[in-house]
Amino acid sequence: MSRVVLAMSGGVDSSVAAHLLTQTGHEVIGVFMRHGEASASACRIQTDDAADPNPLGLPVLGGVSTSASTGKRADHKQGCCSATDAADARRVAMSMDIPFYSLDLQEDFRKIVDYFVDDYLNARTPNPCVKCNHWIKFGKLFDYADGVDADYVATGHYARMSENSKGRQLRRGLDDSKDQSYALFGIGHERLSRMMLPVGDFEKSQIREIAASLGLGVSEKKDSQEICFVTEGHHSDFVKSRRPEMVGATAGEIVTIDGRVVGKHDGFEAYTVGQRKGLGVALGKPQFVVRIEPDTRRVVLGDAADLLAPGLEADQANWLIDPSDLPEHVSVQIRYNGRPHAARVQFDAADASRFAVRFSEPQKAVAPGQAAVVYDGDRVLGGGWIVRPTVD
């Protein structure tokens, strides 16, 4: 069968993916991507591995330490790159007798951290996990696969691959509650032919049952949900720690949608569009962040109805089809945990990297900085990054 490089995060999904691939006869190489800043040294121990499946010079770490602190706060649900995760991934690989290597991607990951900080300081709501999939996980992972002559790259994402006369297609996972196709829209079209998503055809409960039947210690492990590099405090504290020169520079007024000043804030990076709690003011009725104005440094509040937008504008598009083949009626998803909404998409034939979306019904909390992913049924057609909601 084929040689497959599998991203192993130490969670139940990628662990079962390893089992499914080996059971179908594939030669699997497990790779753990170390990119969390807080505990990056946890994998740095000596190794006796003589093999070096790394002709491209990617920094490979052969072992995993289980004694180092993960550096996470007490209320923090672990991310996807802690020392514990690395140790779990290694144990699973050993139990299946597959090679296992850790890649040190901390230098590359700084690009994700900088993007996260800069977006908040530009009054946008970043999605670092989606960017990480595009820039690092499916960037460096394919580089590594090329270096070891692997035919495919696999992950434990809940999405599916299908094929017809027009080639490979990316689709939503069978388990709607766990679908992760939204986070994969930025994969290069040319790489679809080499992607494998073994768990996408299963319900999450089935994956846990398989893990338990195999005696894998990760069968009941919680899913990673939080930002792996914000290990303590609020995300705005992290932003300020990375850009101390900006402390106080983003402070300003909190105003109502009609311009009435109702309070002050210490920095607009602490707010996101659609936010209701922690606004710092009480107006006697539910209020939401309707928009953030970086030029005036104002955080604008309004009613739920003020959050509704008939459409949006997006840029940095990545299309998995020829955009000229876009159906007239599609659906568009505007947040990771949201659902696609019926819409029409228009783009400039001279510049398909930008497009406009018109929803069949107005949608709330269209946040600049989030991804707008276009679907035809359960098929991912492509997507881009929200620049602004439209107002008419």
Catalytic (active site) residue 80? no
- For residues 107 and 281, which has the higher predicted lDDT (pLDDT)? 281
Q: How many CA atoms lie within 13 A of 189 on its CB side?
A: 13
> Rounded mean pLDDT of 40-49?
33
Which pLDDT value is given to residue 148?
95
Record the pTM: 0.87
Catalytic (active site) residue 132? yes
Cα separation, 34 vs 41, in Å, equals 9
> Rounded mean pLDDT of 268-294?
95
Which pLDDT value is given to residue 133?
87
Which pLDDT value is given to residue 349?
82
Which pLDDT value is given to residue 241?
92
Which pLDDT value is given to residue 14?
95
Which pLDDT value is given to residue 27?
97
Q: What confidence tier does 77 reach under pLDDT thresholds 50, 70, 90?
A: very low
Question: For residue 72, is pLDDT > 90?
Answer: no
Mean pLDDT score across all residues of the chain: 87
Question: For residue 272, is pLDDT > 90?
Answer: yes
Which pLDDT tens digit goes with each residue over 133-174?
Answer: 888 888 889 999 999 999 999 999 999 999 988 789 999 999
User: Who's near 56: CB < 8 A, 6+ residues apart?
Assistant: 143, 144, 146, 147
Cα separation, 384 vs 378, in Å, equals 17
Question: For residue 64, is pLDDT > 70?
Answer: no
Element (H, E) at 239: helix 235-242
Question: For residue 53, is pLDDT > 90?
Answer: no
Of 221, 164, 232, 223, which Cα lies nearest the Cα of 193?
164
At 67, list the tokens: 């004694």
Q: Which residues partner with 60 through β-bridges? A: 103
Kindly list the distances between the CA atom of residue 185 and the CA atoms of 156, 170, 336, 388, in Å, as whole numbers in the listed order: 16, 8, 12, 19
Question: DSSP of 132-182, one letter per residue?
Answer: HIIIIIHHHHHHHHHHTT-SEEE---SEEEEEETTEEEEEE-S-GGG--GG
Residue 89 burial class via C-beta count within 10 angstroms: exposed 0-12, middle 13-18, buried 19 and up? buried
